[in-house]
Amino acid sequence: MRARYGVRRFGYGVAMIERARRGFENLRLGFCSLGAVLGLLGAAAAQGPVANAGFTINAATCPRLADPKLTNARIDLGIELRPATGFALVKVTLWKGGALLGPIWQGRIACTAQPHMVSWDGRMAPAGSAVRKWIDPGSYEVQYEAEQEGTRATAVQRRPLDIVRLGITEVTALPAGPNSEWQMVYFKRGTTAGTFFYATPVLREYLNVADTGQISDLDGNDGMPRPSVPVHTATASPRMEGTLYEDDSYNYPLCYRAGVSPRFEVRFGATGTSASGLLVGAKYPVPGVLLRCRLDSSLGPWTSNHLTLAPNVPEVFTGPPLPNRFGRTDANLEWSFQCSTDGGLHWQHMAGVVRTQHRFFTVLGVPRFGGASGVQYSGPWVEVAEYAHAWQQALGTNVSTPEGMTEVVVKGFGGQLPGIPTAIENVRYDTNILGGDGGASHYYDWSHSVQLSRLLDTHQNGWFVNCSDCASSTAALLGMLGIQSVQMNRLGNMSLRAIRGIGAPSYTLALWGGTYAHGFSYHHVVTRTAGTTICDACLWVDEDGNPNALPGLPGFNVDRPWGGSPTSYQSLLAWAPISYQLEALPTLQ
């Protein structure tokens, strides 16, 4: 009962204050003159509450800037009443341009030494509506009013509050020095049949803006904040919008050299959607107020030197070093904001964050390709990087060195190992004992090109591969993942010892069936040492000490010495020395 009475009387007091406020523009300043307020309250005292110089209200906490649409945002309002004794009825209201917009909070609180905290979500029901909506970006005032119980003394204070709209629309991954960052490549276009190369845009790898028919970049048409774009995890095709490439909402993986600190050039959006569904500006910068962004992440904190943010003006952030090895790193980034009203001497934290996720691939060196121009040579292919990541996870190999990386690619490509049950795309060697034929190439072309896109697209050209298909593909994989000096190596004819072809269930001494010679007219392999060592993902040699008999013991050909020992490649593969001819990396299709 008392409270109800108090509130009614209190509302009357507010009206009186408002009438008086119109004559005193200085009340719109951050700290209104206590004397003036007390004087005004005195004018109202004859009809209700009385101003009392001994009773004061202080906005102990009131953010200068706020964006209630940020994740976990709130507007913390601290109410401090003096003297710290007894109780008071308090009302916090929002004002704009001299007009009362509505109540933020009201209640009875104890007058104590500690401020009473009120957390407001930034929403208010517009006039004539029962639905609470976020207030639009713009300049406001928060009015704190109190009436002391018993004395009925009143106190008022106003604080400026600017609502701004903060959000990230673009992130561009910048190099951190020469040869440190590359675009990544997709080879399909949605569900359209065929090969279509697409490189992640240099302009920005992350984009989150209005689509056609949408009002603003930072919000949906219903005013809800536009969610961050999740990492695009598909590996063959970029994000599609119907039959077209997505051009307003994507978040593509990034590729950096291992161990470097990534650099992001970030743009903050300029437009939001108002509570009434109209386009509204982000409403910053605010005169006299600096605004900066702080970036923390699961990788560690990022640094930036910007003085103050402005919409659509790029700012650069530098992250902590990425792992010094090949791999995939998924990072959660949390963008928070601070403002300063004293030129940067002191910064006030703004509640709420923007969260984005980014996927980093790190490679050990400059990606190498057999071709020079073409989208397919823009950088590592996403599907290849994902394959290598998965293989590394299964094998547990140390991939901080080219040797380890080579092992991952050669063993992973052939598969049939714990954690990698099949060869890449489930291919198998092209011999009629496995259902194929006589070892024809299906992906490698005489023009020294390999249709890697077709191989990765669920072996479009068929299950079967020969040595040229395997060698050209593994050479391409190693090169694009930053292994240097990779070449193909075309070997001459040979009579074979026991081998196990890719995808085959067991070793054999009759690769082409019982009535045909167990040999090759030629064989294609890979080297990264100009032929002194060999990588061969097409077959395993037999390391059980008797390479002329079955069964065989897997001998992986990862940088295996070419000759000079009983376990060299020549010795374990063939009965007689083999001729060879080094070749460049293949071109890619």
Partner 1 sequence: MNTTLLRSICALLLGASLLAQVAPVPVDPREALLQATAKRYESPAWARGARRAGPDLAAVALRGLEGGAIERLGAGPVQRFFADAGGENRVLVEVQVGTNVDAAQRHVLGWLTNVSSPGLVPTAAAAGIPLGDVGFVGWSKPAERRLAWLLFVRDNTAVRVVCLDPAANPHPDLTAIAQAVDAEIQRAPVVAAEALVPAPKVVRFAAAVARCRAGERVPLQVTVDAAAGAPVLRFEFEGAGQGYVESDGAGGHVLCTTGPGRLVVRVCATGTRCTTSTATLTIEVGPR
To which residue do tokens 């940067």 refer?
344
DSSP class of residue 6 equals H
Output the smallest distance, CB 411 to partner 1, in A. 22
**Strand 75-82 to 56-61 pairing:** antiparallel
Output the smallest distance, CB 99 to partner 1, in A. 41
Output the smallest distance, CB 211 to partner 1, in A. 15
Q: Which is nearer to partner 1, 56 or 466 (CB)?
A: 466
How many other CB atoms are there within 10 angstroms of residue 359's CB atom?
Answer: 22
Q: Which residues pair with 119 in a beta bridge?
A: 76
Q: Which is nearer to partner 1, 27 or 494 (CB)?
A: 494
* Strands laid side by side in the 56-61 sheet: 56-61, 75-82, 116-120
Instruction: State which H helix or E strand residue 330 sits in.
Output: strand 327-340
Q: Which residues pair with 52 in a beta bridge?
A: none
Q: Which is nearer to partner 1, 305 or 373 (CB)?
A: 373
Q: Which is nearer to partner 1, 403 or 445 (CB)?
A: 445
For residue 337, the one-letter residue type is F
CB within 8 Å of 167: residues ≥ 6 apart: 69, 208, 217, 218, 225, 226, 268, 269, 272, 354
Q: Which is nearer to partner 1, 52 or 472 (CB)?
A: 472
Query: In the chain, how many H helices and how many E strands?
Result: 7, 41
Q: Which is nearer to partner 1, 388 or 511 (CB)?
A: 511
Output the smallest distance, CB 17 to partner 1, in A. 51
Q: Which is nearer to partner 1, 161 or 539 (CB)?
A: 539
Q: Which is nearer to partner 1, 442 or 560 (CB)?
A: 442
Output the smallest distance, CB 231 to partner 1, in A. 19
CA-derived radius of gyration, the chain? 35
Output the smallest distance, CB 461 to partner 1, in A. 6
Output the smallest distance, CB 482 to partner 1, in A. 21
Q: How many CA atoms lie within 13 A of 573 on its CB side?
A: 29
Q: With contact defined as beta carbons under 8 Å apart, do 499 and 419 qualify?
A: no
Output the smallest distance, CB 589 to partner 1, in A. 4
For residue 589, the one-letter residue type is Q
Output the smallest distance, CB 291 to partner 1, in A. 24
Q: Which is nearer to partner 1, 191 or 566 (CB)?
A: 191
Q: Please give the Cα distance from 335 to 302 (Å, whole number).
A: 10
Output the smallest distance, CB 374 to partner 1, in A. 6
Output the smallest distance, CB 124 to partner 1, in A. 38
CA torsion 229-234-239-243 (nearest 10°) is -150
Output the smallest distance, CB 247 to partner 1, in A. 7
Q: Which is nearer to partner 1, 297 or 376 (CB)?
A: 376
Q: Please give the Cα distance from 186 to 196 (Å, whole number).
A: 8
CA distances from 389 to 9, 363, 384, 477 (A): 70, 11, 9, 12
Q: Which is nearer to partner 1, 21 or 267 (CB)?
A: 267
SS3 content of the chain, % helix, strand, coil (to 5): 15, 35, 45
Q: Which is nearer to partner 1, 141 or 205 (CB)?
A: 205
DSSP class of residue 183 equals -
Q: With contact defined as beta carbons under 8 Å apart, do 419 and 545 qualify?
A: no
Output the smallest distance, CB 588 to partner 1, in A. 8
CA torsion 454-457-458-463 (nearest 10°) is 10
Sign, Cα dihedral of 318, 322, 324, 326: negative
Q: Which of 73, 59, 68, 71 is nearest to 29 (CA)?
A: 59
Contacting positions for partner 1 (CB under 8 A): 183, 193-195, 198-199, 201-203, 243-245, 247, 373-375, 378, 430-432, 435-442, 444-449, 451, 453-454, 460-464, 466-468, 490, 493, 511-512, 516-517, 519-524, 581, 587, 589
Burial of residue 370, with CB atoms counted within 10 A of its CB: 0-12 exposed, 13-18 middle, 19 or more buried: buried
Q: Which is nearer to partner 1, 120 or 186 (CB)?
A: 186
**Strand 499-501 to 449-450 pairing:** unpaired
Q: How many CA atoms lie within 13 A of 67 on its CB side?
A: 29
Which tokens belong to 359?
A: 């996927």
**Strand 65-66 to 153-163 pairing:** parallel
Output the smallest distance, CB 241 to partner 1, in A. 10
Which tokens belong to 36?
A: 């003036």
Q: Which is nearer to partner 1, 120 or 444 (CB)?
A: 444
How many other CB atoms are there within 10 angstroms of residue 131's CB atom?
Answer: 8
